[in-house]
Amino acid sequence: MPHIDNDTICAIATPPGRSGVGIVRVSGPLAASIAKNILGLDPTPRYAHYSDFTGADGEVLDQGIGLFFRQPESFTGEDVFELQGHGNSHVLASLRDRILSLGARLARPGEFSERAFLNNKIDLVQAEAIADLIDSSSQQAVRSALRTLRGHFSRQISLVIEKLIATRVDIEAAIDFSDEDISVISNTRVEQSLADILEDLDKIFEGAQQGAILKQGMNVVLAGKPNAGKSSLLNALSGIDSAIVTPVPGTTRDVLTEPITLDGLPLNIVDTAGLRDSSHIVEREGVKRAKLAIDQADQILLIVDQLTHGQDTVSADTVEKLLASLGLIGDASAGIGSLLNRTTLVFNKTDLVKDGKTGLDSVDCGGIKITVINISAKTGSGVELVREHLKCRAGYNPGTEDVFVARQRHLIALEAAAELVKSAIQNMDAKSPLELLAEDLRLAQKELGAITGEFTSDDLLGEIFSTFCVGK
């Protein structure tokens, strides 16, 4: 466990700018004496003192509420003092400087949360949830982050670890008493326990995966030829006129990103320049940026003008020729697999086609199923199909219970733990030496312990907390 600095830290805990309230936070052994110097009285723990905030010469720097919390009954587990004054940057700076003159130092980013973790007030998952709550971009993400902050994710991990420990005890006992018959063990408690643990890990992973989607969202790029209706679809999906729409091909010459939410799922919708050869230097740069955005996209909506394409049946050959004509692949085969896996064909302008109908279809391209959606971005017909399709491609299920905010490292650790448990099951089936089972389960427990911070390197902790706000 990393060393806890035995000094006093302070930071302005509210964002820069003007507001009704501004907060300066202090944590450490000098918190009580700093409070007495600024408030002019011995602070009563967990009591709101309305008072002047004074400088070294007795000058009133501000007035407001002073709160003092005695260790360990505080967020950090240390003595904590908080000044709630007026949200003016000059006022807050003067209070901060006054506190620094009384022996505190400036806090590093995330140091308050780091001290809470090191003092066992919260685990690492809960600490990360604080930052995720602040960064949440939807109500669903907020609820998931709060669920994680309250320990829901951690409790599930802890229950699995307890089962792992109990199973390891059985296996270690069998190793120590080798005269016992392994078949007796495998056919009873251990075998069932491993199956239960694997089932628990699958359920946790499902909830964590949904939480990761809520946190990270999905980058969706609108691509296609000029005047196919990319900007119109962006406006239809976002519900506002974010992009300029004109009948002139090449109106969009840069990459325009519009963040939206679909039932709580955060999406970054990226409108790009029309893909075509051009002699205009600005448009060429726009096409270059469009292709870069396509390369980095999680999902690509390839917009096709139905007036130009006609109403012929879409085939694998037409899809490949279309991609090649846009310069997205060099020929009909090179590099197409990765692109097709991320691509949805959206045939636009059904309102201008005789007997044009909106709807959903698909085409098989070398074993890869490509979804085809017919819409009218102008009238909005079929746009809801696009929304539902994007949620489906993201694997997003807003009705999933037990969703909690998760990070990529959590998913990696859960997958690794599950694979180790599967390895243990295989070793049991193969009647392998018990030592192999024991090692699999030890490593699985270590992977899960890394999620909550039970087994975590100092380097990882530094990386995690460095992304926090200074006042957290």
Q: What is the mean pLDDT of residues 163-173?
A: 85
Contact yes or no for 40/33 (Cβ under 8 A): no
pLDDT of 205-229, one tens digit each?
Answer: 888 877 777 777 788 888 888 778 8
Per-residue model confidence (pLDDT) at position 280:
57
Confidence band for 14, pLDDT divided at 50, 70 and 90? very high
Confidence band for 459, pLDDT divided at 50, 70 and 90? low
Work out whether the CA dihedral 196, 197, 198, 202 comes out positive or negative.
Answer: positive
**Window from 138-142, 337-341, 466-470 with minimum mean pLDDT:** 466-470
Per-residue model confidence (pLDDT) at position 49:
96
> DSSP states of 33-72 as a string?
HHHHHHHSSPPPTT--EEEEEE-TTS-EEEEEEEEEE-TT
Confidence band for 275, pLDDT divided at 50, 70 and 90? low
**Window from 13-27, 53-67, 105-119, 274-288 with minimum mean pLDDT:** 274-288
Residue-range domains of the chain with CATH: 9-121 (3.30.1360.120), 134-208+408-453 (1.20.120.430), 217-394 (3.40.50.300)
- Quick one: how many helices (H) and strands (E) in the chain? 17, 13
Per-residue model confidence (pLDDT) at position 291:
73
Q: In terms of pLDDT, which residue wins out, 155 or 323? A: 155
> pTM to 2 decimals?
0.66
pLDDT of 362-406, one tens digit each?
Answer: 777 777 888 888 888 888 888 899 888 888 887 776 665 567 777
| C-alpha to C-alpha distance for 441 and 259, rounded to whole angstroms | 43
In 3D space, the residue among 116, 16, 10, 137 whose CA is nearest the CA of residue 73 turns out to be 116
**Window from 2-6, 46-50, 323-327, 378-382 with minimum mean pLDDT:** 2-6
Per-residue model confidence (pLDDT) at position 253:
44
Contact yes or no for 243/429 (Cβ under 8 A): no
Share of the chain above pLDDT 70, in %: 79
Residue 317 has pLDDT above 60, yes or no: yes
Q: In terms of pLDDT, which residue wins out, 186 or 343? A: 343
Per-residue model confidence (pLDDT) at position 198:
94
Per-residue model confidence (pLDDT) at position 143:
79
Residue 347 has pLDDT above 80, yes or no: yes
Q: What is the mean pLDDT of residues 137-153?
A: 80
Q: Which residues of 303-339 are buried (b: 16+ CB within 10 A; e: fewer)?
A: bbbbbebeeeebebebbbebbbebebbeeeeeebeeb
Per-residue model confidence (pLDDT) at position 97:
95
Q: In terms of pLDDT, which residue wins out, 465 or 154? A: 154
Q: What is the mean pLDDT of residues 105-122?
A: 92
Confidence band for 287, pLDDT divided at 50, 70 and 90? low
Per-residue model confidence (pLDDT) at position 44:
95
Per-residue model confidence (pLDDT) at position 7:
93
Mean pLDDT computed over every residue of the chain? 81
Plot region of 356 (φ>0 → left; ψ -120 to 50 → alpha; else → beta): beta
Q: In terms of pLDDT, which residue wins out, 370 or 284? A: 370
Residues 89, 92, 96, 98, Cα dihedral to 10° = 120
Angle, CA 76 vertex, CA 106 and CA 138 arms, to 5°: 90
Q: What is the mean pLDDT of residues 134-145?
A: 76
Highest mean pLDDT among 98-102, 357-361, 394-398, 426-430: 98-102
Quick count: other Cβ atoms within 10 Å of Cβ 21? 11
